[in-house]
């Protein structure tokens, strides 16, 4: 019998801990971690470089066929993003590119263009995939769907610490305002808005440490797929 392919979809707002938790869980079970936000960020960076306003739907859609967007995994297992052959993995992690990503991701044509790239990853290998619409659109048949949340204040606090560690001078007020703005964009857009799939397990990490959150998610994975850690 061929080995079972397990798909875990983790959705939720920015800063809920999705990527750190998904990465840790994927590593524990030998699954591939797919960060779909990084793909939208790469399109955002491309728009910025081309001088295209990220809400300019026609401008962004014209840009897409001129781009080569690709991702693969380094020896450390980390996902790396390539834009026209250039490794842009670090460049896409700025607050400005977060906003570009949020804007371009509201364009239905952008979402459609990136759909197969995301789905194909889960066809041949077990994945933990995080994003906003993984359980609802990208992998509607995922074996486990998790909707990860935390209060906006707690998420802003966590994101501020991440940015500060990279030397970014943003203040708590700025990060909180950006976070609230992105929540608003991602939740209220017409195309694949951020929402929990009906069959998603909701997990609020506001009062959990990172380690507790990881253990909680891993317990859900082990139970759902009958895995021993
Ligand atoms: O997860 P992230 O913060 O890196 O994502 C950046 C932006 O991309 C986010 O504001 C919304 C968008 N996004 C999306 O629309 N759908 C996804 N599956 C992942 C991200």
DSSP-assigned letters across all residues of 114-145: HHHHHHHHHHHS-EEEEESSIIIII-TT-SEE
Q: Which atom of ligand 1 is nearest to the CA of 15?
A: 3
Distance 178 CA to ligand 1 centre (A): 14
Q: How far is CA 96 from the centre of its chain?
A: 16
**Across-strand partners of 14?**
none
- Note the pLDDT tens digit of each residue in 100-151: 999 999 999 999 999 999 999 999 999 999 999 999 999 999 999 999 999 9
Our answer on whether the CB atom of 9 is closer than 6 Å to any ligand 1 atom is no
The tokens describing 64, both together, are 């897409």
Sheet bearing 79-83, strands edge to edge = 69-73, 79-83, 86-87
Nearest CA to ligand 1 atom 9: 102
- Return the residue matching tokens 């203040």: 171
Distance 11 CA to ligand 1 centre (A): 10
- Note the pLDDT tens digit of each residue in 80-102: 999 999 999 999 999 899 999 99
Handedness of CA 119, 196, 181, 216 (dihedral sign): negative
- Note the pLDDT tens digit of each residue in 156-166: 999 999 899 98
Read off the pLDDT of each residue in 14-21 and give the average, rounded to a whole number. Answer: 92
DSSP state of 205: -
Answer whether 130's CB lies under 8 Å from 36's CB: yes
Cα separation, 59 vs 79, whole angstroms: 28
Distance 99 CA to ligand 1 centre (A): 10
Specify the pLDDT at position 229. Answer: 53
The tokens describing 94, both together, are 């700025």
């Amino acid at each position: 019998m061929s080995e079972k392919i397990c798909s875990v979809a983790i959705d939720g707002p920015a800063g809920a801990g999705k990527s750190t938790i998904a990465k840790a869980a994927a590593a524990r079970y030998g699954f591939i971690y797919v960060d779909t936000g990084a793909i939208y960020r790469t399109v955002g960076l491309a728009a910025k470089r081309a001088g295209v306003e990220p809400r300019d739907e026609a401008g962004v859609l014209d840009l897409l066929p001129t781009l080569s967007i690709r991702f693969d995994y380094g020896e450390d297992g980390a996902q790396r993003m390539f834009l026209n052959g250039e490794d842009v993995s670090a460049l896409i992690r700025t607050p400005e590119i977060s906003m570009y990503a949020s804007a371009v991701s509201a364009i239905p044509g952008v979402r459609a263009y990136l759909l197969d790239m995301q789905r194909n990853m889960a066809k041949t290998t077990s994945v933990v995939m995080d994003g906003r619409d993984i359980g609802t659109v990208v992998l509607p048949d995922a074996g486990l769907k998790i909707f990860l949340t935390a209060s906006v204040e707690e998420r802003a606090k966590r994101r501020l610490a991440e940015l500060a560690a990279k030397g970014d001078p943003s203040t708590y007020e700025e990060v909180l305002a950006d976070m609230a703005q992105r929540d608003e964009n991602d939740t209220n857009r017409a195309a694949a808005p951020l929402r929990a799939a009906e069959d998603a397990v909701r997990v609020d990490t506001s009062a959990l440490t990172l380690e507790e959150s990881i253990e909680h998610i891993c317990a859900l994975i082990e139970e759902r797929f009958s895995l021993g850690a």
